[in-house]
Structure 1
Amino acid sequence: MAQQPSTRLYVMDGVTEGTVLALIGVLLGTAGTLVGQYLATRVEVQRDRRQRTEAARTECKEAILGLLAAAQRIELILDRRGLGLPTSTDPADEKLHGLWLAKKAVELTCAHETAQAAHDYTKVLHTHMRNTVPSEQNPTKREYRYAFMEAARNALESGRPRIRR
């Protein structure tokens, strides 16, 4: 005798039906909670990344401004010397010390390109202050200042075109 396919319908009673629907509800609720937590965590990670990037940029910017302030004090002394005017009463050694210290802050907080440009600019200013190289062989501080400014602008991602000289 050949078996015929069963055509019986399985009917759930009220208790079984309620239990299955409750389990489906729990599964959907759990899935929704997990997806919500994933999305919230993802947003938080992105926010944290942006905050860290902004903090690093701010730290780099402060270091750059510190170097520029120290360099400006040195350049004032050099300009006054070049014009034959008396220099300020502050010792030049203290100014040079401040300049080298500010350069180190740039090295610690900024990218290699900016740190190298800061080092080169500081070295040229130091050389000019100490008059250790004859004036015809002395590198121009203007070129090194320009190189540092462009490296700093790139480090701060200004998105602006290069400064024309």
Structure 2
Amino acid sequence: MDGVTGSTVLALIGVLLGTTGTLVGQHLATRVEVRRDRQQRADAERTERKEAIAGFLAAAQRVELVLDRRELGLPAPEDPEDEKLHDLWLAKKAVELSCSHEAAQAAHDYTKALHAQMRDATATGGPPIKRERRHAFMEAARDELGSGRPRIQR
């Protein structure tokens, strides 16, 4: 091999190695970016679910406060009960839109129990049904948020 051919071959090998290194680097960078993007999306979805669950629980708590005050014979709060029920049903819809079927069904069942008790406490079986529905929703919400913790014994 003469000097020109040898230097040409070495230059081509250098170009080949450089190109290969660049392609491998781009591939690895793309994989990292895809993984990061996937994680960011998962985090955003979890935050959305958490906000929907927290909003639902806040609305449910306001209805439970009315029911507790009624049970204790205390005067009702100044806010109309219909508005509290409306807020509860609206918050339940946010759970339905952003959470799994199990969490949405548990929210629906809990909302129905609270609504029925708010309208007529004798028709629903009262607080035991409400507690069961609340417990079922809380466990579904914990599963939804991936707590990975054992179930809470009630």
Q: Would you identify which runs of 4 or more consecutive aligned residues in structure 1 move more than 6 Å?
A: none
Give 2:84's aligned residue: 95
- Alpha-carbon offset, residue 145 of structure 1: 0.2
Distance 1:100-1:49 versus aligned 2 partners, 3 A rule: same
| Superposition TM-score, scaled by structure 1 size | 0.90
Aligned to 1:84: 73
CA displacement at 1:137 relative to structure 2: 7.5
Aligned residues: 154
Amino acid at match of 1:141: K
CA deviation after TM superposition for structure 1 residue 164, in Å: 1.1
- Which of the numbers 114, 117, 123 marks the counterpart of 2:103? 114
Q: 1:65/1:95 Cα in 2 relative to 1: closer, same or farther (>3 Å)?
A: same
Unaligned runs of 5+ in 2: none
Q: Identity over the aligned pairs, expressed in percent? A: 73
| SS of residue in 1 equivalent to 2:75 | coil
In structure 2, distance between residues paired with 1:82 and 1:151: 28
Instruction: Verify: 1:46 aligned to 2:32, yes or no.
Output: no
Distance 2:71 2:104 in 1: 28
Map 1:17-28; keep pairs closer than 5 Å.
17-28=6-17
Does structure 1 residue 75 correspond to structure 2 residue 64? yes
CA contact (8 A) 2:92 2:107 kept: yes
Which structure dedicates a bigger proportion of its chain to helix? Answer: 2
Cα displacement (A) at 1:113: 0.5
Superposition deviation, residue 132 in structure 1: 7.0
Q: Distance in 1 between matches of 2:126 and 2:15?
A: 81
Once residues 107 and 135 of structure 1 are traced to their aligned partners in structure 2, the CA distance between those partners, rounded to angstroms, is: 23
Q: Alpha carbons of 1:57 and 1:100: their partners in 2 closer, same or farther (altered >3 Å)?
A: same
Residue of structure 1 equivalent to 2:25: 36
Quick one: which amino acid aligns to residue 5 of structure 2? T
1:135-150 correspondence runs (5 A): 136=125, 140-150=129-139
Q: TM-score, normalised by structure 2?
A: 0.96
How far residue 138 of structure 1 moved from its aligned partner, in angstroms, is 7.8
Q: What secondary structure sits across from 2:78 in the alignment?
A: coil
Q: Which runs of 5+ in 1 are unaligned?
A: 1-11
Conserved 8 A contact 1:124-1:139 = no
